[in-house]
Amino acid sequence: MPANPAPLELALDACRDQDSAGFHRLRQDIAPSMLATADSFLDDARQSEDVVHDTLLLAWLNARRFRSDGTPPGPWLFAILGSRLHNQLEALGKGQPTAARQVPARLQGQALWSRSRELEPRPPGPSLDGRLTESLSAQLAAPRLPRTPTGERVHPPLYDVRLRRKMLTSRLAYRTKMSFQHGLGRPLEEWLFRRWLAQRAGSRWLEAQGLPRRSIEAALGERLDLAVNPGQLVRCLSYPAAFPDRVERRKASNLFLWSGDWDLPCQYLADSGRTRFIRDLWSHRLDPSRSETCRQLEQQLEQERPLRSHHKGMLLDSRERILEYLRLYLLYMENMACFGFDRHEGKDRLGVTIDRHGGIIKTNKGLHRLAMAQVLGLSEVTVRVRSVHRQWWERHAGDARGRDALERIARALPECVPA
Could you list the beta-strand ranges (E) of 244-394.
Answer: 257-258, 267-268, 308-309, 314-315, 350-354, 359-362, 381-389
Residue 35: what residue type?
Answer: L
Domain residues of the chain, as ranges?
5-144
For 39-44, which contacts have Cβ atoms below 8 Å and span 24 or more sequence positions?
A: 39/119, 39/122, 40/115, 40/119, 41/85, 41/89, 42/85, 42/88, 42/89, 42/92
Alpha carbon of residue 36 to chain centroid: 31
Average pLDDT over residues 208-225: 96
Helix (H) or strand (E) holding 128: helix 126-141
pLDDT tens sequence across 325-340: 999 999 999 999 999 9
When the pLDDT of each residue in the chain is averaged and rounded to a whole number, the result is: 93
pLDDT tens sequence across 139-160: 999 999 999 999 999 999 999 9
Residues 155, 142: contact at Cβ < 8 Å? yes
Average pLDDT over residues 257-273: 92
pLDDT over 60 (residue 75): yes
pLDDT tens sequence across 85-118: 999 999 999 866 555 568 999 999 999 999 999 9
pLDDT tens sequence across 169-202: 999 999 999 998 888 899 999 999 999 999 999 9
Residues 6+ apart with CB under 8 A from 5: 72, 73, 74
Is residue 120 classed exposed, middle or buried when 0-12, 13-18 and 19+ CB atoms within 10 A define those classes?
exposed
Helix (H, G, I), strand (E, B) or coil at 191: helix
Helix (H) or strand (E) holding 227: strand 225-228
Residues 280, 286: contact at Cβ < 8 Å? no
